[in-house]
Structure 1
Amino acid sequence: MGAISTEFAGAGPPKRWIGQLYVQVLIAIAAGIAVGALWPATGAALKPLSDAFIALVKMIIAPVIFLTVVTGIAGSGGLGSTGRVAAKAFAYFLFFSTLALILGLIVAHVVQPGAGMHIDPATLDASKIHGYEEKAHDAGIVQFLLSIIPTTLFSAFTEGSILQVLLVSVLFGVSLALAGEPARPVTDLLERVGTVVFRLVAIVMRAAPIGAFGAMAFTIGAYGVEALRSLGALVASFYLTSLLFVFVILGGVAWAAGFSIFKLVRYLKAELLLVLGTSSSEAALPALIDKMERAGCDKQVVGLVVPTGYSFNLDGTNIYMTLAALFIAQATGVELSIGDQIALLGVAMLSSKGAAGVTGAGFITLAATLAIVPSVPVAGMALILGVDRFMSECRSLTNFLGNAVATVVIARWEGAVDRDMLKRALDGAPDERPARIAAEADTD
């Protein structure tokens, strides 16, 4: 009958290529593109497949984060190491988020993707972006900070906020660590529950090809590849800038930390294809946590850096914000002064945190930024609405890789990474430890 899947577990006998999850997702993406291109109406109607899969993943994100963070902190000694890891993580996030914003600004000046369009903002139909403006208004920085605190201890697990779950998890983990030996049975129980939850993750992940198929069919069917022709310069500029950021800037950081960005991409190929197919980095969050641990990173570091990075380390979103803002300015003939651009950077840095965790965060964050920087007309967002979905995939991929690199780097700073395990994982050697994420799959 079934054999243990090694796609996320990294253990057990090798499977036929068709049984590998990343191959199944790749086939599903190709099939989705074909359906969307040949039968657009049918493709557009398949969006519920993607929505259902992402909802399933979001259902298990809270327990995965809680169990990983609590058991990591409880086994590490508590408050001192937790505060140190958090401080290093936020310093890293702030630096590279700012760098991503600046890179987007520089590329927009060099490439000039919106130059020569001569669009009159008064002629644009801004009705379609009103909903995004309302969400941007509700995602202010003060409201964002207040929303981190859940209504009750348990409501954090029902409201879908990663940061609320993280706050409760840190407090609970520190409490377990401070309680000492009397609380040890609770920690042991949570570790056992974690084994069951990661098996549940594996069951859900087997549906990943269906989610990727639905999402890709919807994207092509609803928006069509012809949308790329008119705004090809913007989309191409964004993808090239993201590649530059990942393989040059993050690649340099990875090299300095003693590992290869190319090997990391290969190691995370299944998760990256899943992110590409669903346009959601959250779809691969549980698997990223598991893979970072199996690459030798300490559980406490992984538990703090990965979920926090999903809200504060949005490199792809930051590149998109400044690049798209200057594209709109160039397309509508608006000249931005140095002061305007500095203001744009400052506001974008704050608003990118205020919109964290919101569906469609990239577009919403851009709306929030332009609403505060009056030089660039918010109505100009109507120009890029048709291709935002195509750029959303690149945003998600860049955000995902940025958080993977951050996890390994911060673990290295903490001396909390097993270098031999990291090397074996990135070199593709089989993992000899018991699998945390595994699933039954037919092999005959």
Structure 2
Amino acid sequence: MAVSTEKKSNNNLLFYYILIALILGIIAGQSVHSFCSLKTIALVSENIKLLGTIFIRLIQMIVAPLVFCTIIVGISKMGDMKMVGRVGGKAMLWFISASLVSLMIGLIWINLLKPGTTSTLDLSNTASASDLIANSHQLTLAEFVNHVIPKSLFEALANNEILQILVFAVIFGVALASFAEKGTSITKALDIVTHVILKIVSYIMWVAPIAVFGTITAAVSSHGLSVFKLYANFLAAFAIGMVSLWIVLILVGYIILGNRVFALIKTIKSPLLIAFSTTSSEAVFPKLVDELEKFGCNPKIVSFILPLGYSFNLDGSMMYMTFASIFIAQLYGVEMSLSTQLIMLLVLMLTSKGIAGVPRASLIIIVATCSMFGIPPEGVALLIPIDHFCDMARSMTNVLGNALATTVVSKWEKNADA
């Protein structure tokens, strides 16, 4: 009991440290932006964001082996392949439904509020999109298959290709489960490795406040808080869309979980804040595994569903991609019928899978989608100054969506602690 109280106290302490770091980062960043020369701003931004880079790299160091171990342990412990199929089917039902709802919410609000038609952005300032446009060719069917199917497990582990690791781990887990008792020793060994990694996570998390300070300071010093005035129409509409998505997710969670949904949000408050501050939902994956198990979700369900969610259930990113694509169309006066927008929604549904951990993947997908529908792809450059701040909201929403998905499936399997 004393150990549990101590862990809870540490979690609360970490949450407050991160919150303080977030506030200090905003103050420091705005001070640099207001009182320093452009050269100094660039120097400060470039160097202080290394604090965030260190934290992200520490997490990336353990995400691949953690996904590999948790998936195999989860499947092999289930034993019954019918259960694996049933749990996987329920998860995919949630993922597809949540993705469609997220896309539709973005579609509805961007058409109702039309922030692109009232924007005063300079459409000629699009040079910063050249790299994104150059990389958008990767979104072909052939490249998608290459991204999903691993050529080598070690290459996938080295490059943190979560989807490829997932594919191999599922196959390996199913094969290991077929050995029944003979495979128990391997399952136990991987289970021990998983808990060792989670112990490492408990150490790394104390670096999070420093990372938050560095990341926020770098972002605010580069653009300044005045950027919110320039993008006021877009940000206000985006905030309404994101709040609507949260309301829908929590409402569905309440219907299934009851009042426990609010306890869940309280439990994952630290992962939510870290994802918000560092703009990386991947950075909190190990911490989220630990918190969901503490919440009462069956470890077998968590081990199987959560890694799947990181490839197939990015609710915040989905809403943003629909929202941003049609916003660019509105900026350039490109008329899009409802049927065309619905087709775009389905295209985004397919092309967005497996983007977790890929830098600026949302922007690359938006570029490719715009090109496909006759929208000037260079318009994505107009979103770059504000993308970091939008990424904060969508990363936090991705974490909420995956936590809900895992808890709901666990409830459906009658494995959630009542």
**TM-score in same-fold range (> 0.5):** yes
Pairwise mapping of residues 29-108 of structure 1 onto structure 2 (< 5 A)?
Answer: 29-40=22-33, 41=41, 42-108=44-110
Task: Name the stretch that deviates more: 290-299 or 212-221.
Answer: 290-299
Tell me if the contact between 1:343 and 1:373 (Cα under 8 Å) persists in the aligned partners: no
Tell me if the contact between 1:321 and 1:366 (Cα under 8 Å) persists in the aligned partners: yes
Give the counterpart letter for 1:291 in structure 2. E
* 2:11 matches 1:21: no
**2:187 corresponding residue in structure 1:** 187
**1:257 corresponding residue in structure 2:** 256
Deviation digits for residues 37-70 of structure 1 (CA, Å, limit 9, x no counterpart): 1113224531111111101101101122222222
Tell me if the contact between 2:276 and 2:396 (Cα under 8 Å) persists in the aligned partners: yes
* 2:240 matches 1:240: yes
**2:383 corresponding residue in structure 1:** 384
**1:396 corresponding residue in structure 2:** 395
SS at 2:116 equivalent: coil
Deviation digits for residues 140-186 of structure 1 (CA, Å, limit 9, x no counterpart): 34422332222223333212111122222222222221112122222
User: Using a 3 Å threshold, how does the CA distance of structure 1 residues 117 and 29 change in structure 2: closer, same or farther?
Assistant: closer
Rounded Cα–Cα distance in structure 2 between residues aligned with 1:115 and 1:153? 48
Give the counterpart letter for 2:386 in structure 1. V
**2:336 corresponding residue in structure 1:** 336
**1:151 corresponding residue in structure 2:** 151
Tell me if the contact between 1:50 and 1:210 (Cα under 8 Å) persists in the aligned partners: yes
TM-score by length of 1: 0.86
Deviation at 1:303, TM superposition (A): 1.8
Gaps in structure 1 of 5+ consecutive residues: 420-444
User: Using a 3 Å threshold, how does the CA distance of structure 1 residues 172 and 105 change in structure 2: closer, same or farther?
Assistant: same
Deviation digits for residues 223-272 of structure 1 (CA, Å, limit 9, x no counterpart): 2111111111111211221111112x112211121234433222111111
**1:12 corresponding residue in structure 2:** 6
SS at 1:12 equivalent: helix
Rounded Cα–Cα distance in structure 2 between residues aligned with 1:214 and 1:351? 32
RMSD: 2.1
Deviation at 1:119, TM superposition (A): 6.8
User: Using a 3 Å threshold, how does the CA distance of structure 1 residues 11 and 178 change in structure 2: closer, same or farther?
Assistant: farther
Give the counterpart letter for 2:72 in structure 1. V
Tell me if the contact between 1:22 and 1:269 (Cα under 8 Å) persists in the aligned partners: yes
**2:345 corresponding residue in structure 1:** 345
Rounded Cα–Cα distance in structure 2 between residues aligned with 1:24 and 1:354? 32
Pairwise mapping of residues 347-362 of structure 1 onto structure 2 (< 5 A)?
Answer: 347-353=347-353, 355-362=355-362
**1:363 corresponding residue in structure 2:** 363
Q: Indicate the structure with greater helix content.
A: 2
**1:407 corresponding residue in structure 2:** 406
Rounded Cα–Cα distance in structure 2 between residues aligned with 1:14 and 1:112? 45
**2:37 corresponding residue in structure 1:** none
**1:166 corresponding residue in structure 2:** 166
Deviation at 1:100, TM superposition (A): 1.0
Give the counterpart letter for 1:23 in structure 2. Y
Tell me if the contact between 2:282 and 2:356 (Cα under 8 Å) persists in the aligned partners: no
User: Using a 3 Å threshold, how does the CA distance of structure 1 residues 324 and 152 change in structure 2: closer, same or farther?
Assistant: closer
Rounded Cα–Cα distance in structure 1 between residues aligned with 2:204 and 2:409? 29
Rounded Cα–Cα distance in structure 1 between residues aligned with 2:10 and 2:298? 32
Pairwise mapping of residues 212-223 of structure 1 onto structure 2 (< 5 A)?
Answer: 212-223=212-223
Rounded Cα–Cα distance in structure 1 between residues aligned with 2:10 and 2:115? 45
Give the counterpart letter for 2:160 in structure 1. G
User: Using a 3 Å threshold, how does the CA distance of structure 1 residues 351 and 279 change in structure 2: closer, same or farther?
Assistant: same
Give the counterpart letter for 1:319 in structure 2. M
User: Using a 3 Å threshold, how does the CA distance of structure 1 residues 126 and 13 change in structure 2: closer, same or farther?
Assistant: closer
Rounded Cα–Cα distance in structure 2 between residues aligned with 1:136 and 1:307? 25
TM-score by length of 2: 0.91
Tell me if the contact between 1:347 and 1:372 (Cα under 8 Å) persists in the aligned partners: no
Deviation at 1:15, TM superposition (A): 4.0
Tell me if the contact between 1:275 and 1:284 (Cα under 8 Å) persists in the aligned partners: yes
Gaps in structure 2 of 5+ consecutive residues: 34-40
Rounded Cα–Cα distance in structure 2 between residues aligned with 1:90 and 1:13? 33
Task: Name the stretch that deviates more: 66-75 or 50-59.
Answer: 66-75
Tell me if the contact between 1:69 and 1:299 (Cα under 8 Å) persists in the aligned partners: no
Rounded Cα–Cα distance in structure 2 between residues aligned with 1:173 and 1:347? 31
Rounded Cα–Cα distance in structure 2 between residues aligned with 1:256 and 1:404? 15
Rounded Cα–Cα distance in structure 1 between residues aligned with 2:289 and 2:53? 22
